[in-house]
Structure 1
Amino acid sequence: MTVNVRDLRPDDPTDVEAFARVRHLALPYILWTPDAILHNLAHTPAEARFRSLVAEEEGEVIGTAQVHLAHESPEPGQGMLNIYVRPDRVHRGAGTHLVHAAERHLTDHGATKLLAWVLDEPANRAFAERHGYRPSRSAHFLRLDLTTGTLPPPQSPPPGVELRSAADLADDPRPLFELDAETASDEPSDVDTELTDYQAWIEQTWNHPCFDRELTTIAFVEGRPAAFSIAYTDGPTGRYATAMTGTARAHRGRGLAKLAKNDSLHRARAAGFREAHTGNDTDNGPMLAINKWFGYEIVASEVRYVRELG
């Protein structure tokens, strides 16, 4: 049987749903919705050269790739490719075809260093290494069952701290952007990030279809956002995910991130969400400790693989 690679057809709902289904089957720890997939295609800045690819066999989508340049990094020439194949359709060549198509696209646009997240499983790691990639840092996927009652009790904010939702910033979300930019630059990663384009952030993050402004909690100190926990939700499946949690440098060490996340989790459970997901770099000890306190359990891990092009 022949496998061919093509671009995702955004105007074909069946194609978009198939892309989301493959992603969910291969990586069920992240929220994949058709709306979110279309949003990324429509609102990722042009300089990222973003593409969503599918591998198709006899009319069936069996593999997917999201490919782009690390446009928010101060270091040029970094290309990102994340390849996922349906677990019941492996060993048919879909992954290899997607890798080759993704690499051609990235190198055509100047990439000299390629990075890919790979599930920490022997077959996946061997696949990456056969294609010339070498392991770098790692990260964990974590899950919390919100139905068991093991979530720590709500915490009252200390004097001078106020908990509010992101919805309260609907008229002017720039303070949240500024906090997100500061914390993102300090997040452990092998790709430095600089968020400088407010309008791009509005389009990509603030208007993301999974971004739940009501369940996103911000801790304010003296009227300014000091810590936050951004919530993504997928109503039909009852799943909630923490997209980012962080604290401004001037307010770290006060437990404000834990306070904000605890508030968000309790409100998510009250709203009927049954499970919470998040992810942490294995070097992010403080956040891993916070999530252990909440009762999160590691359900899978992934490894960043890197290929330097001579």
Structure 2
Amino acid sequence: MTVIVRDLRPDVRADAEGFSTTRRLALPYMLSTPESVVHTLTHAHPDAHFTQLVAEQDGEIIGTAQVSVAHESTEPGQGSANIYVRPDRRHRGAGSLLLRTAEERLAALGVTKLFAWVLDEPENRAFAERHGFRASRSAYFLRLDLTSGTLPPRQDPPPGVELRTAADFAADPRPLFELDAEVVSDEPSDIDVEFTDYEAWLDENWRHPLLNRDLTVVAVVRGRPAAFSVAHTDGTRYGTAMTGTAREFRGRGLAKLAKNDSLHRARAAGYTEAFTGNDTGNEPMIAINKWFGYEVGATEVRYVRALG
């Protein structure tokens, strides 16, 4: 009955399946498959020192942790450890053991500030606070029922704007990398991020197994990608991984246009529910998602503590 913590073995199918199942049970608003678990681990940038830990009891994976150094941040010494335990396997010490292991790994890498996302539930928040974390920003998980008929009608793009899919950029996705880099740098976050490595972006994002290029919609102005809505799918569910607009083109409704078209494509493809997430302070995007009909399903709080 002893709980042990070890590294996930990417070449063992049962490990990836156990990791993915635990994540879906603990956090049903985020997409996860065995393939995406392995891809994330094996294609992470070396400077991230990315690790996936599992808590195992009697051969069953009951908890997971994703641990990394924020290598894309402009501020050194930052890292993250996001820990999830199966709801039906709590109170066995898995969460504490995963956190202790993650802290030891990150401290050895020079991390001095540790961030962790925690579901906004009394038991989860109490766990974080017992371990010395303090609450920071928060974010919503939102869900949209694509079968309800509340999705706004499809809209024609304004003159000079063309809607394409990511599949149209298969021969040269660099323009999407440049758009993604600009959008990510302006996202509300405790950790500033800069995308500068195109090859790493290709490995980690463009070739990600959850990316659905046919459902990812790009608003193009004069040949330049101006806004996009990135779609992830796991075979049965649809999730928005990113929606944003280049600074030059903001205020024209292009992100809303792209996301609406993507959602219509998803519904036509047979997807029945859509998920997305928003920082609670991102009022413009929250308003857009409410216009689509999304409803808040849960809230997650970002916690932080000093290490070492």
Residue 58 of structure 1: how far off its partner (Å): 1.3
Per the alignment, residue 260 of structure 1 pairs with 258
Residue 308 of structure 1: how far off its partner (Å): 1.6
Q: How does 1:278-289 map to 2 (within 5 A)?
A: 278-289=276-287
Which blocks of at least 5 consecutive residues in structure 1 are unaligned? none
Which amino acid in structure 2 is aligned with residue 103 of structure 1?
E
Does 2:80 match 1:80?
yes
Q: Is the 8 A contact 2:143 2:275 kept in 1?
A: yes
Cα displacement string for residues 247-275 of structure 1 (whole angstroms, at most 9, x for unaligned residues): 00011000000000000000000000110
TM-score with structure 1 setting the length? 0.99
Per the alignment, residue 125 of structure 1 pairs with 125
Aligned structure 1 segments of 4 or more residues deviating by more than 3 angstroms: none
> Using the alignment, how far apart are the partners of 2:237 and 2:233 within structure 1?
6
Residue 204 of structure 1: how far off its partner (Å): 0.5
Cα displacement string for residues 55-114 of structure 1 (whole angstroms, at most 9, x for unaligned residues): 111111111001000111111110100000000110100000000000000000010000
Per the alignment, residue 30 of structure 1 pairs with 30
Per the alignment, in what secondary structure is the counterpart of residue 106 of structure 1? Answer: helix
Per the alignment, residue 299 of structure 1 pairs with 297
Cα displacement string for residues 219-249 of structure 1 (whole angstroms, at most 9, x for unaligned residues): 00011000000000011xx200000000000
Residue 309 of structure 1: how far off its partner (Å): 2.9
Which amino acid in structure 2 is aligned with residue 257 of structure 1?
A
Per the alignment, residue 43 of structure 1 pairs with 43
Q: Aligned-residue CA RMSD in angstroms?
A: 0.6
Identical aligned residues as a percent: 70
Which amino acid in structure 1 is aligned with residue 35 of structure 2?
D
Per the alignment, in what secondary structure is the counterpart of residue 211 of structure 1? Answer: coil
> Using the alignment, how far apart are the partners of 1:11 and 1:221 within structure 2?
44
Which amino acid in structure 1 is aligned with residue 195 of structure 2?
L
Q: How does 1:48-127 map to 2 (within 5 A)?
A: 48-127=48-127
Which amino acid in structure 2 is aligned with residue 219 of structure 1?
A
> Using the alignment, how far apart are the partners of 2:91 and 2:162 within structure 1?
53
Residue 10 of structure 1: how far off its partner (Å): 1.1
Which amino acid in structure 1 is aligned with residue 290 of structure 2?
K
Per the alignment, residue 175 of structure 2 pairs with 175
Per the alignment, in what secondary structure is the counterpart of residue 151 of structure 2? Answer: coil
Q: Is the 8 A contact 2:141 2:297 kept in 1?
A: yes
Cα displacement string for residues 134-171 of structure 1 (whole angstroms, at most 9, x for unaligned residues): 00000000000001111000000000000000000001
Residue 40 of structure 1: how far off its partner (Å): 0.7
Per the alignment, in what secondary structure is the counterpart of residue 155 of structure 2? Answer: coil
Per the alignment, residue 212 of structure 1 pairs with 212
Per the alignment, in what secondary structure is the counterpart of residue 181 of structure 1? Answer: helix
Cα displacement string for residues 146-197 of structure 1 (whole angstroms, at most 9, x for unaligned residues): 0111100000000000000000000100000000000100000110000000
Which amino acid in structure 1 is aligned with residue 177 of structure 2?
F
